[in-house]
Amino acid sequence: MPEIVPNPWRLQAQAQQVRSDTVIGILALQGSFWEHEAMLLRLGVGVREVRLPEHLDGLAGLIIPGGESTTMGKLAVEFGLMEPLRAFGREKAMWGTCAGAIFLSKDARRDQPLLGLMNITVERNAFGRQVASFEADIPVPALKVVAPDDERPFHAIFIRAPLIETVEPPAEVLARLPDGRIVAAQQGRLLATSFHPELTDDDRFHRYFLHLAQRAPAAA
């Protein structure tokens, strides 16, 4: 069994009245999954930490958090999650942030376990080490679906971030930096972001993912 790390928001989850029948899973093998939990709880969404294949049952969608993509992949192999995750991603919504975007990709320019679900090629640590982390305001027109009156760019936080080098159909570019480099992509109900929306107070990306998770499969 993977190590169970105490979750500081679990008591909050138990105390909060969840307003939605939707339950979103968060891959909790490694990485910054607690921050995603906090954002979803704030939106009144049910949350389940996923560490074993059976934890995927009944979920509307799954978030793969930031962390270390190689470690994440090795743990997914060790706990028999690779094929269940691939099957889940073929049928339901899945969102990878930072390391999670690498894990979703078909190619990360090195030998490591990947789900290969999205037609994107990703360069790891493309912006340098952690000291080179940065923030940027980026336009994301797709967020108008959930916030039609919100004209703000999205304030994106990049921490040892990957770069989405190529996007091939049926995947499409969702957001770019001002210099044109790709930092978000979508393929049906699959979503990849180089940055960390869970580290901001802006819940539009999480609401957009919920929109994808609740969308009928035929519309994916």
Distance of CA 201 to the CA centre of its chain: 16
> For the chain, what is the total number of helices (H) and then of strands (E)?
6, 12
Residue 193 phi/psi, 5-degree rounding, is: -130, 135
How many residues are there in the chain? 220
Task: Give yes or no: 55 in active site.
Answer: no
- Annotated catalytic residue within 35, 36, 123, 196: 196
Q: How far apart are CA 99 and CA 16, in angstroms?
A: 29
Look up 198 and say whether it is catalytic. Answer: yes
Query: Across-strand partners of 3?
Result: none
Which is the catalytic residue, given 37, 49, 123, 198?
A: 198
Tokens 């997914």 locate to 76
5: left (phi over 0), alpha (psi -120 to 50) or beta: beta
CB 167 within 8 A of CB 119: yes
For this structure, is 196 an active site residue?
yes
The residue annotated as part of the active site, out of 98, 135, 155, 172, is 98
Tell me phi and psi for residue 211, to 5 degrees.
-60, -45
Q: CA angle, 220 as apex, 215 and 173 as ends, to 5°?
A: 110
Question: Catalytic positions, please?
Answer: 98, 196, 198
